[in-house]
Chains A and B, each alone.
Chain A
Amino acid sequence: MLDYTLILVFSGCLVLGIVAGTLGSFAVLRKQSLLGDAISHAALPGVAIAFLLASSKHPAVLLLGALCAGWLGTLFILLITRTTRIKNDTAMGIVLSVFFGLGLFLLTLIQRMPSASKAGLDKFLFGNASTLLLQDVWTMLILGGATLACVLLFWKEFKLLSFDPDFLHSLGRNTLILDVFLTTLLVAAIVIGLQAVGVVLMSALVIAPAVAARQWTDHLGRMVALSALFGGVGGVLGAFASSRISNLPTGPAIVVGISVLFIISLFFSPHRGLLKDWLRERKNRKTVRSKKVLLALFTLSRSHKTPFHSHPVSSLEAIAPGSIEGGLEELRNQGLALPSGAGWKLTHKGAIEARRLAQHVYGEMP
């Protein structure tokens, strides 16, 4: 089952998932989700140019090319935003499309060349983890390890840079250098995944695990760890799926795997999940409904000597239309009202509760 090639592929995807998940957390918290997409697309011409210059497909050469181009793209975005009146999103759009277009152009040229070593560069588009060799995985491991080590070393600076960069500056730190440094690490994390995932989908691996992780925790350390875990698991799942299904590129498989984690997190996480929101909302509506009916019973009983007089449903309906049926049942479940004769009446507990509610709502007795 698990042969040598497969172990290589799995470890490669595990590494790229962990590193992308870690750096992605910072990108998402700094509201730079789209930057990942721009960087990965911008890296493509770097791969092609590195191949043309060095006539080699050694992973270190190609990744170095990708790293330079990705970094240059980021620098352009920064420069355009700072020196012109073009806004950040536009700058990212320009850099993404221009670099990606150039990359595709160069790749097509390379495909037409007579050289025999040209094959396989197109895997950088959609990714093909099954072509990972030992030297590829080593390169990923070294670059990824260095990236993670930097994040740990500069943890508190990166945390503060993400939360409040002006304050970090006021502590005497050079935020521009730290900003470029953290972004360079993001470029490295993206470049690591290019061969296996491809430039087109790599940004999903940066964003999705981080957003999913944020759903589960309110602690930065735990968020980053969880994001790395999601990235790693997604990477391995995707690699597994693409090794089982022939002609399924790894990139899409990994993205689908991570999307499943993301969707589960979005709906079912305990504090921030949509399901939790929905349940809270529903409970809230029920409470309001029963309180309306309780007030209606109380209001009607004001015209009688005792608060425990029975009132027909039709009179209640006139005061609190639309709430009665469900509301009365709620009140009965809470022991605040009872059916009596042809109508309903407050219990002792209900009368006390109703009086308190009326005071709260009207400020005084109605």
Chain B
Amino acid sequence: MHPIEISDLTVAYHEKPVIWDLDFHAPAGVLLAVVGPNGAGKTTLLKSILGLVKPSAGTVTIFGKPAQKQMHRLAYVPQRGSVDWDFPTTVLDIVMMGLYGKLGWFKRPGKKEKELALQSLEKVGMADFAGRQISQLSGGQQQRVFLARALVQDADLYLMDEPFVGVDAVTEKAIVALLRELRSRGKTVVVVHHDVPTLKTYFDWALLLNVRKIALGPVQKVVTPKNLQKTYGGRASFLDLEHA
């Protein structure tokens, strides 16, 4: 029973296929990167797993059951550009949003939730920013806040959309450390990733995606110049780096 199992997934917007006949599974306890060029269907794949996008065909199961029944076992980190950071609220409040699911209807977050949120902010090095207005955060800080919101959910499966985009080197290192810590606790993390040169150092497994599945497996096995060529076409200048 894999954390994620997908069979024959096809997603099309206005008849143009974005994902074509994808079979995919993520084994437990790995850091798995989803890589591919722009428009390859990486974000759409995450959104199909979450049920945010309705597939034209195929099934998605999470820990052996239909995804919508397993939402409490997963935590989602959307692209930070997908929200309006001028929303009137604080960093702590955003992190507490991760606990709304467990809180249930009609209940407001209290002392316990605040405590958990603060601990989570501590883990991403943002505890000093708890009371800060979110409009005052830098890109890297926004990303850390989103990660803290996912951490506080204490899920078994994490889905992250481009967490490394537009963050500084310090934040990138902090995120990698965090991913490894999650893996050491047996969590499964699926990350949409853009940067091929760091693939092998940051991740255990990779899905190479370009509408169709190009390859899936341990990075040492599947991240090869040939597969990258197939995924990115002829435009990939970083292929040389792979030999380095």
Could you tell me which A residues sit within 8 Å of B by CB distance? 29, 31, 85, 153-157, 159-160, 162-164, 166-173, 214, 217-220, 223
Contact = CB atoms under 8 A, between A and B. Distances in A.
Contacts of B47: 166
Given A164-B82, A217-B88, A220-B88, A170 B97 contact: no
18 contacts: A85-B14, A154-B105, A154-B106, A156-B97, A156-B103, A156-B108, A157-B105, A160-B100, A163-B94, A164-B83, A166-B52, A167-B78, A169-B50, A170-B71, A170-B76, A173-B101, A218-B88, A220-B88
B89 A220 contact: yes
A210 to B, nearest CB: 11
Contacts of A31: 84
Given A163-B87, A218-B89, A218-B90, 17 more contacts: A31-B84, A155-B108, A156-B100, A157-B105, A159-B89, A163-B97, A166-B76, A167-B78, A167-B149, A170-B50, A170-B71, A172-B72, A214-B88, A217-B88, A220-B88, A220-B89, A223-B88
A162 B88 CA distance: 11
A331 B108 CA distance: 55
A159 B14 CA distance: 32
B74 A218 contact: no
B121 to A, nearest CB: 17
Contacts of B14: 85
B87 A162 contact: yes
Contacts of A154: 105-106
A167 B72 CA distance: 12
B66 interface: no
Interface SS of chain A:
helix
Given A156-B100, A163-B89, A169 B135 contact: no
Contacts of A167: 76, 78, 97, 149
**Max chain A C-beta neighbours (<10 A), residue from B47, B82, B87:** B87
B88 A169 contact: no
Nearest to B97: A160
B52 A169 contact: yes
Nearest to B107: A156
B68 interface: yes
B52 A219 contact: no
A221 B223 CA distance: 50
Interface centre among B52, B100, B103, by most chain A C-beta atoms within 10 angstroms, is B100
Contacts of B51: 169
A314 B240 CA distance: 59
Interface in B176-229: none
A262 B188 CA distance: 50
A1 B94 CA distance: 50
Interface string B44-76: 000100111000000000000000100110111
Nearest to A214: B88
A159 B93 CA distance: 10
A306 B166 CA distance: 48
Instruction: Assign chain B's interface to a size class.
Output: 20 to 34
Closest 9 pairs between A and B when the two form their complex, measured CB to CB: A172-B71, A171-B101, A170-B76, A218-B133, A164-B83, A218-B88, A163-B87, A220-B88, A223-B88
Contacts of A157: 100, 105
A27 B163 CA distance: 29
B83 A163 contact: yes
B78 A166 contact: yes
A171 B71 contact: yes
A307 B72 CA distance: 69
A31 B54 CA distance: 25
B135 A218 contact: yes
Nearest to A174: B68
A171 B87 CA distance: 20
Given A85-B14, A160-B100, A170 B74 contact: yes
Contacts of A155: 108
B109 interface: yes
A170 to B, nearest CB: 4
Contacts of A217: 88
A153 B106 CA distance: 5
A256 B240 CA distance: 67
A29 B50 CA distance: 25
A153 B107 CA distance: 8
Contacts of A159: 89, 97
A171 B88 contact: no
B88 to A, nearest CB: 5
B52 A29 contact: no
A164 B135 contact: no
Contacts of B94: 163
Contacts of B149: 167
A219 B78 contact: no
Contacts of A29: 87-88
Most chain B CB atoms below 10 A, which of A29, A154, A164, A173: A164
Nearest to B75: A170
A85 B15 CA distance: 13
Contacts of A162: 87
A271 to B, nearest CB: 9
Nearest to B69: A172
Nearest to B72: A172
A172 B68 contact: yes
Contacts of B52: 166, 169-170
Contacts of A160: 97, 100
B88 A219 contact: yes
A7 B153 CA distance: 51
B101 A156 contact: no
Nearest to B83: A164
A222 to B, nearest CB: 8
